[in-house]
Structure 1
Amino acid sequence: MTNNANSPDATIFQLGGDLPVRRIGYGTMRLADGPGDPAGPEARIWTAPADRAAAVRLLRTAAEAGGTLFDTADAYALGAGEELLAEALHPYGDGVAVATKIGVVRPSPTEWVPLGHPAYLRQQAELSLRRLRTERIDLLYLHRLDENVPVAEQVGALRQLQEEGKVRHVGLSEVTVAQLDEAESVTPIAAVQNLYNLATRDHEAVVEHTAGRGIAFVPFFPIAMGGHAGPDGPVAEVAREVGATPSQTALAWLLHRAPHVLPIPGTNSAAHLLENLGALDVRLTEEQFARLGAVGDAAS
């Protein structure tokens, strides 16, 4: 396992080699949660926020606090997530990078169905451009690979959008090393967004592979700590040692894991948002990093 030696520029990553972003982004998925909706992996992400003004304020607070990477998807609340981001932050300045995703259809609140027909992907990108009110998307992910369409055709659609000047960088989500290699034969991949956190580390091989190629690894659900989140658990223990909260400590472990790791925690609380960004200032020793790493080793 490689890890990140702390350095003066450890909080910044050059996405795609030319787009500097802070290494803790903001995942906007939670803003689509309705009252009483399930959270985490079971969240429906189906409706626009009931308190739109509060969501706009939260997004602006994130930008004002130094957040630069904002992550959304056309599948979040059927496009309402992208519209909300534009309402809050457009016109986007040099300090804001917008990432969105295409390639999943939502026929109902509980269904997320990959659809990778190239014509559909290009149409969805056009709709994303309109909702985001921009002429070029900084980072466009293929939300999921469609097993019924060749990878080269799906990624080729995103490459065409790049060639047309509508997409700056291409990303993939929930992929293996083999799928990433296949996609890279079509166009450079700037980021991979997979499920990864202290307690869930199935994608270690992808973390290692992307590190060697300068590709950002963007963990979603980055704060999950499983059964080790209690007040007497190892996360809380290290948190007390470094003067941070358990959530900040879990994020700090990811930041220390490797310099290309960019967590995107989501929240609908301004206090939690600022807490998450504060993880950029938390420093772990190698011993603390290893002790936390044993959390995932025990869970596997």
Structure 2
Amino acid sequence: MTSDTTDRSDTFDIGGELTVNRLGFGAMRITGEDIIGRPDDEDEAKAVLQRAVELGVDFVDTADSYGPGVSERLIGEALGDPDDVVVASKAGLLRNREGDWLPHGDPDFLKNQVLCSLDRLGTDTIDLYQYHRPDPDTDFEASVHAFAEMKDAGQIAHVGLSNVTVEQLETATEIVDVATVQNRYNVGHRDDEDVLRACERSGVGFIPWGPMYTVDEEGVAEALGEVAGRRDATPRQVALAWLLEHSDVTLPIPGTSSVEHLESNVAAAELSLTDEDVRALNDVDPQA
């Protein structure tokens, strides 16, 4: 006989003050193909955003590079500047027509980008603004100082990091309070387990991007499928539920351009895994 796992916390306080439901929405997929340009149906993209809020999602994550600019604009038009929804964005990546993601951490560029983000989102202050990826050609501390200055200027309420190491997190926290870290992490990819544990020790939110990137991979798919069969759920729902069970600081942000997929993803927040389920997923070998 199996028992339910210890009750998890269903909310998290970003920066110690912005309380959000832990299953959010990632707004990367509401743009065009290869995350470039407008979506085929902007009304449908806005409907996805509005439906997410109707379902209780109160944490929406985007970036200036999604489109670029398209995702932020659609959020601003569909949601406005709501008091009951935390909107997070990012800066630090350039795009080109080939769809490349090019790190660009020049402080002046970052300060310019926050002005663009503020305008597109239709707000005076962005709830959470994240450094999208460290730039090997720019001093990391100089880039973080730019975010600290944006915060001091009232342009952003909280600072986040993305795609960083434990050492970079520690360096950044000497400059500014870091509210969140967003790194790639899922059942089948746990290279940044040390970063997650560092976030736990510091009370920093951990946003696992690509939460379902490995659901179809050999080994991962079998384990998810077995648990899904026992829980009358989909493997993707189980992957999200595992992230919520794995740590109280995780803030999964599954993204989609479909209302149907959105509703299925949000339902994962209500899925309870047993100790047996969690052990089976914990035992998945990410290196297999």
Of 58, 62, 85, which aligns to 1:72?
62
Paired position in structure 2 for 1:238: 227
Task: Report the 3-state secondary structure (helix = DSSP H, G, I; strand = E; otherwise coil) of the residue aligned with 1:77.
Answer: coil
Paired position in structure 2 for 1:155: 144
Task: Report the 3-state secondary structure (helix = DSSP H, G, I; strand = E; otherwise coil) of the residue aligned with 2:13.
Answer: strand
Cα pair 1:229 1:246 within 8 Å, conserved? no
Paired position in structure 1 for 2:255: 266
CA–CA separation in structure 2 for the residues paired with 1:177 and 1:46: 31
CA–CA separation in structure 2 for the residues paired with 1:30 and 1:81: 8
CA–CA separation in structure 1 for the residues paired with 2:286 and 2:203: 29
Bigger CA drift: 24-33 or 102-111?
102-111
AA partner of residue 267 (structure 1): T
Paired position in structure 2 for 1:299: 287
- Provide, for residues 234-274 of structure 1, a one-character-per-residue CA deviation record: whole Å limited to 9, x for no partner: 21111122222211111011000000001100111111111
Cα pair 1:33 1:46 within 8 Å, conserved? yes
Cα pair 2:81 2:121 within 8 Å, conserved? no
- Cα deviation for residue 188 of structure 1 reads 0.9
CA–CA separation in structure 2 for the residues paired with 1:77 and 1:166: 22
Percent of aligned pairs with the same residue? Answer: 39
CA–CA separation in structure 1 for the residues paired with 2:55 and 2:281: 28
Cα pair 1:45 1:109 within 8 Å, conserved? no
Task: Report the 3-state secondary structure (helix = DSSP H, G, I; strand = E; otherwise coil) of the residue aligned with 2:138.
Answer: coil
Task: Report the 3-state secondary structure (helix = DSSP H, G, I; strand = E; otherwise coil) of the residue aligned with 1:144.
Answer: coil
The RMSD of aligned alpha carbons is 1.3
Cα pair 2:26 2:255 within 8 Å, conserved? yes
Bigger CA drift: 104-113 or 150-159?
104-113
AA partner of residue 48 (structure 1): R
- Cα deviation for residue 91 of structure 1 reads 3.2
CA–CA separation in structure 2 for the residues paired with 1:293 and 1:229: 10
Paired position in structure 1 for 2:122: 133
Matches within 5 A, 1:1-300: 5-7=6-8, 10-34=9-33, 44-92=34-82, 94-224=83-213, 225=215, 226-228=217-219, 230=221, 233-295=222-284, 297=285, 299-300=287-288
AA partner of residue 46 (structure 2): V
CA–CA separation in structure 2 for the residues paired with 1:263 and 1:218: 6
Size of the aligned set, in residue pairs, is: 282
Gaps of 5+ in 1: 35-43
Runs of 4+ aligned residues of structure 1 deviating over 4 Å after TM superposition are none
AA partner of residue 66 (structure 1): G
AA partner of residue 88 (structure 1): A
- Cα deviation for residue 299 of structure 1 reads 3.1
Gaps of 5+ in 2: none
CA–CA separation in structure 2 for the residues paired with 1:102 and 1:87: 20
Task: Report the 3-state secondary structure (helix = DSSP H, G, I; strand = E; otherwise coil) of the residue aligned with 1:276.
Answer: helix
- Provide, for residues 4-60 of structure 1, a one-character-per-residue CA deviation record: whole Å limited to 9, x for no partner: 8314xx2111111000111111111111133xxxxxxxxx21111110011111110
Task: Report the 3-state secondary structure (helix = DSSP H, G, I; strand = E; otherwise coil) of the residue aligned with 2:226.
Answer: helix
Cα pair 1:239 1:246 within 8 Å, conserved? yes
- Cα separation, partners in 2 of 1:45 and 1:215, compared to 1, 3 Å: same
- Provide, for residues 205-243 of structure 1, a one-character-per-residue CA deviation record: whole Å limited to 9, x for no partner: 00111011000100111013222465xx22111112222
TM-score by length of 1: 0.91
AA partner of residue 118 (structure 1): P
Cα pair 1:46 1:109 within 8 Å, conserved? no
CA–CA separation in structure 1 for the residues paired with 2:37 and 2:193: 34
- Cα deviation for residue 284 of structure 1 reads 1.4
Bigger CA drift: 235-244 or 221-230?
221-230
AA partner of residue 14 (structure 1): D
- Provide, for residues 131-157 of structure 1, a one-character-per-residue CA deviation record: whole Å limited to 9, x for no partner: 111000001000111122222210111
Task: Report the 3-state secondary structure (helix = DSSP H, G, I; strand = E; otherwise coil) of the residue aligned with 2:100.
Answer: coil
